[in-house]
Structure 1
């Protein structure tokens, strides 16, 4: 039996390594195509580009590895069934479970190694790749300007609609906010076109703006004129801004100072999740206390308690003279006022409610963003566990399915493998997108695709071990035939 185990394992490893190598090359070329605009033609050394791709490659493993396991198991067991090797095994009394035993041990070991890789190697590689990309953006200012969003460059905040030309130095529809020495944003410049001009021998970058307007807020000497919003406006054909790059050109590409949620292992993520949850709870608690105090309920409660104390003192002294007394129930508050004052009280209450609602609406986006950050961290931690289990579960999907379809090679197994993997991948992607805004729990967002594949693996394994096809057509057609026969008898 050891010879058989070695034979099955060697066939599987050959398919596994071949598929993994081919898929990694394909996805790396996809990464090159994705970052070609940021890396190519920027004067970067091939060593720097190669190092970036090397750091980026481990982040492809969570996508490539499950696909490799599914495809390799389909090809291996499909080839065994197609060449009647399974028939020879079964005639010798070897079941499908027994034939899969060596591979089950290998898959468990692979799952453990995958968790270690996702927990240790991928966070470090993400850390290196992200920092290298940020440092490259410092050295090459054109890379630091992304289209359609505001980008911080020293004391400027610049937005461009489109970059084009050599090294993306030509800019269209430029909006620039310039800060003064106090960090105040009082200058806005808009231009239809722009150009970045630099020289390797100079530390000065020239930003040449063409056909635009210059706006600047003025601070009046008399504070009473602040409400008039004085400003200066000018039209220009060409306006040049000089940016000192002496600090940028001294950037160390190996500097490491940036962190995101993808760059932590499980223990670090657990600590950060607890800290973020506590911080979010404190923020919500303080905000709710502030809103509660702004309603004025606390003041009303103190007045109510004071009135009750006064009533108890009057009862103790036994004042016999009857005096009119107003009830302290909420329904009698307006009865304390008359005429126009009642309307003023109602208007004030409505104004307070409107202000409170506006305050809640303005803070709603911030609180949702905090919850979204927490969800990212929770999904990042559970995705490491889900990836390890996904490799094992997808093996139990691919191996019995290969034995059922009885086709090896790169034909039908490739088609079936791609269809199953796309289902698995898009389920996971949709689940993570829903989990970001807490539409579903973030833990479910990491595990949903794996959980859905589990019953499919159990179903296919049971069908394959019982020597049954993928679907039993007779079990579906027989009830329909019986039903049609009953109707025909009734008509006769």
Structure 2
């Protein structure tokens, strides 16, 4: 847990560094980040500890003493098996209650930290949301990084859109560190303001006003950036933030939305090509003069202008429908990817408890077989096994997210793979045999070379 917490801090260091955050906020951040690590920490812990403990027993001949007293390996594992079974149930309950709530608090805390006034007000080479403007600078320099080069500013307005743009060659930030008011002095630039016309004909001309300035001063009030409630809960719709019942409800909603979009597209295609109305009010007049082998081409009944008009309408309809199908296909791909994430999140809650039980039945027999305890070889074997299990799960989930395999398989594939391994290792350990019998392969080779050596000696 300590190692993974350090990794979490490293992953989110950009959101924590350079902020005037209290120690309590950082403690909250780490506290809310801890439960989301349990699905990785708990299975690894069970695997490593079971290998280490049972390896210690085998190394110190504890199992030999047990067997001489009539205690089999199954009986020695019985109490721990019951305990691990309840651990698996607890893991499911934990992932269904604690993890969604902590994830909700964690996501909202991250969103609120972003709003806090940064120590470095403007980051170079990116747009920064600063008060009522968005500002981008190419370079910052000076003792306090107060001098700016190549400045682009988009001023916010009541109506949506960027209608006012300010560009300047350089500028300077002025203000006290403890003050919420910052003065930005711009030098040698232009002020562009798009003029909104009521007439549609005038709007097509895209009129704007341009003003050149030698010096322009902007006063920015940043008091609102520091006034952030760290306990505000705004975001609550992520698939990590829902329990089993909420996930089922959300999956049904998303499935209905996908099906409605597919049915709507199918209806639009049918209406466009006229399949539904093909036989309605259709009167067929039979010409007795037409013979059976005569060709009936509809183009023979229209002149050139009519043909051009028909082909133009057909092309326009086909092109419009192709565009609509392409747009709907992209929209469905996004919806299905989100639906797959919700379905995998639902199955992950059940898979966590089952994986804890199965990894115990992998680690305990393996420790009894290798007969090594402590922090040496068991740690290496346990980490290799867990990384294999973990990476199989990652690849399966990536494939399920893109729709390559069903979401059910993406969540359960790694568990399905370790299930036969747990049965195999448990049977080998209870029968007091190794992982594999290499004597059947090595002994014929050894006998062959022994015979050749004996012949050469004679």
TM-score interval, smaller chain? 0.7 to 0.9
- Given the alignment, which residue of 260, 264, 269 partners 1:286? 264
**Pair 97,189 (structure 1): closer, same or farther in 2 beyond 3 Å:** farther
- Given the alignment, which residue of 278, 282, 286 partners 1:307? 282
Q: How many residues align?
A: 445
Which segments of 5 or more consecutive residues in structure 1 lack a partner in the other structure? 1-23, 316-321, 485-492
CA distance in 2, matches of 1:148, 1:446: 40
- Given the alignment, which residue of 244, 250, 253 partners 1:266? 244
CA distance in 2, matches of 1:324, 1:85: 105
CA distance in 2, matches of 1:477, 1:425: 34
Moved more, 100-109 or 467-476: 467-476
Larger fraction in helix: 1
- Given the alignment, which residue of 318, 342, 346 partners 1:353? 318
Q: Residue in 2 aligned with 1:39? A: 16
TM-superposed CA distance for 1:340, in Å, is 4.6
The answer on whether the counterparts of 2:15 and 2:113 sit within 8 Å (CA) in structure 1 is no
Measured against aligned partners, the alpha-carbon deviations of 1:92-140 in whole angstroms (never above 9, x if no partner) come to: 2222111111110010010011111111111111111222222222222
The residue matched to 1:356 in structure 2 has which SS? helix
CA distance in 2, matches of 1:480, 1:272: 62
The residue matched to 2:12 in structure 1 has which SS? helix
Confirm or deny that 1:422 pairs with 2:387: yes
Say what the alpha-carbon RMSD is for the aligned residues.
Answer: 3.9
**Pair 249,140 (structure 1): closer, same or farther in 2 beyond 3 Å:** closer
TM-score, scaled relative to structure 1: 0.77
The residue matched to 2:163 in structure 1 has which SS? strand
The answer on whether the counterparts of 1:142 and 1:167 sit within 8 Å (CA) in structure 2 is no
- Given the alignment, which residue of 382, 405, 427 partners 1:440? 405
CA distance in 2, matches of 1:208, 1:58: 47
The residue matched to 1:181 in structure 2 has which SS? coil
- Given the alignment, which residue of 35, 39, 44 partners 1:67? 44
Measured against aligned partners, the alpha-carbon deviations of 1:134-157 in whole angstroms (never above 9, x if no partner) come to: 222222257999998877666656
The answer on whether the counterparts of 1:435 and 1:442 sit within 8 Å (CA) in structure 2 is yes
Moved more, 143-152 or 385-394: 143-152
| 1:26-425 to 2 correspondences below 5 Å | 26-140=3-117, 177-188=154-165, 199=176, 202-204=179-181, 216-220=193-197, 223-232=200-209, 241-259=218-236, 260-298=238-276, 301=278, 304-308=279-283, 311=284, 332-425=297-390
The residue matched to 2:368 in structure 1 has which SS? helix
Which segments of 5 or more consecutive residues in structure 2 lack a partner in the other structure? 450-458
TM-superposed CA distance for 1:73, in Å, is 0.5
**Pair 380,162 (structure 1): closer, same or farther in 2 beyond 3 Å:** farther
Measured against aligned partners, the alpha-carbon deviations of 1:269-315 in whole angstroms (never above 9, x if no partner) come to: 111111111122222322332343334545x52xx42223xx5xx89
The residue matched to 2:282 in structure 1 has which SS? helix
The answer on whether the counterparts of 2:15 and 2:110 sit within 8 Å (CA) in structure 1 is no
The answer on whether the counterparts of 2:20 and 2:118 sit within 8 Å (CA) in structure 1 is no
CA distance in 2, matches of 1:122, 1:359: 41
Structure with the larger RCO, 1 or 2 (CA within 8 Å, 6+ apart): 2
TM-score, scaled relative to structure 2: 0.83
Q: Residue in 2 aligned with 1:9? A: none
Moved more, 73-82 or 152-161: 152-161
CA distance in 1, matches of 2:140, 2:290: 77
CA distance in 1, matches of 2:395, 2:137: 31
**Pair 167,94 (structure 1): closer, same or farther in 2 beyond 3 Å:** farther
The answer on whether the counterparts of 2:131 and 2:225 sit within 8 Å (CA) in structure 1 is no
The residue matched to 2:2 in structure 1 has which SS? helix
TM-superposed CA distance for 1:375, in Å, is 1.3
Moved more, 157-166 or 38-47: 157-166
